[in-house]
Structure 1
């Protein structure tokens, strides 16, 4: 969200709360709270990019494993897979990693560029360990691809559960006041009437 849009939303929220409660202090406090909450919120574009990267990462790990099994060096495999995936976040980073490895960068520095992608840190650490200890990098990528797919499935399942809770929330917010007004208020009013009548 742009700073101007965030400011406008914060001022609107603060003005609404101030008018509802008839207090300037409440309005200012609400505006500050809105500003802080909106500052932490990701923009829809960033959210879409992160979701696409999370989906592409296991596929990229599978392609890297296949390229390494075919005999490509790690720098060539990263570069080729990155080029085949396009300029999206994972593909662009793999191209950069391939160039860095070809230029002699340490594996930790080169593979560390995956760190900003959800799940990329673990893939980068595994690739660095394999390069430093001489273990089979292709098998490491295959294992990481399976782990990333499992993590993605768990993430999507958690989002579905969260969405189902959010879907029920408006129903609860509508029925709870109605239940209180229809079921609880008359009973309390009748009891209070009897108490005052007895006095």
Structure 2
């Protein structure tokens, strides 16, 4: 929290010093307040790292759940076994799901421990749908794991393409003015000098 406040204050002071006029005071105050609000909405780095690790483990967790269910384990025991096997942030969440199921919670309530993970919504929907209809859950979890891996591959490819475009941007910003100054300006000066 202190770092957030110091960052916002530092930006406000920098604006105040750069402006050097009376109008810099309200602008600096507005920027300081706005930056503090924006930074306060961001989750801490540790929370983001745990969420990213849980999302990365989600396809493996779905595969392990499918395997445990195919082996004949009840859902609560399968979830508990996978929670113990995976460990980490996803394991902790799955452990809460297993304990909730063992204590008799409704499936939507029990699986809600995974609700804030990107991609877990489909896993929750499959588990709730299976509890209501009695459909086989192992096949749904296997398909879900494959879909999550495919989504991750598409996201990685998109990020790689975006990085390629962003790498070219500084080159264009640097070389375009140099080309204009070194290549076009002398030609224009020569042509205009001959014409006048």
TM-score range, shorter chain: 0.7 to 0.9
The superposition leaves residues 14-61 of structure 1 with CA deviations (integer Å, 9 ceiling, x where unpaired) of 222222232423322332332233233343323322221111000000
**TM superposition shift of 1:147:** 1.2
Instruction: Please show how residues 123-162 of structure 1 align to structure 2 within 5 Å.
Output: 123-162=123-162
Structure 1 residue aligned with 2:17 = 19
Q: Distance in 2 between matches of 1:28 and 1:162?
A: 35
- Other-structure match for 2:32: 31
**Superposed CA RMSD:** 2.8
Unaligned runs of 5+ in 1: 191-199
- Mapped pair 1:7 → 2:8: no
**How many residues matched?**
188
Segment of structure 1 superposing worse, 19-28 or 107-116: 19-28
Query: TM-score under structure 1 normalisation?
Result: 0.80
State the SS of the aligned residue for 2:115: helix
How far apart are the structure 2 equivalents of 1:85 and 1:130?
Answer: 23
> Following TM superposition, by how much is the alpha carbon of 1:177 offset from its aligned partner in structure 2, in angstroms?
6.4
Quote how far apart the aligned CAs of 1:181 are: 7.4
Q: CA deviation at 1:169?
A: 4.3
Gap runs ≥5 in structure 2: 190-196
TM-score, normalising length: structure 2:
0.81
SS in 2 for 1:123: helix
Map Cα deviations across residues 116-136 of structure 1 (whole Å, 9 max, x no partner): 111112211111101111100
Q: Is the 8 A contact 1:81 1:91 kept in 2?
A: yes
Residue 168 (structure 1) shift: 3.9
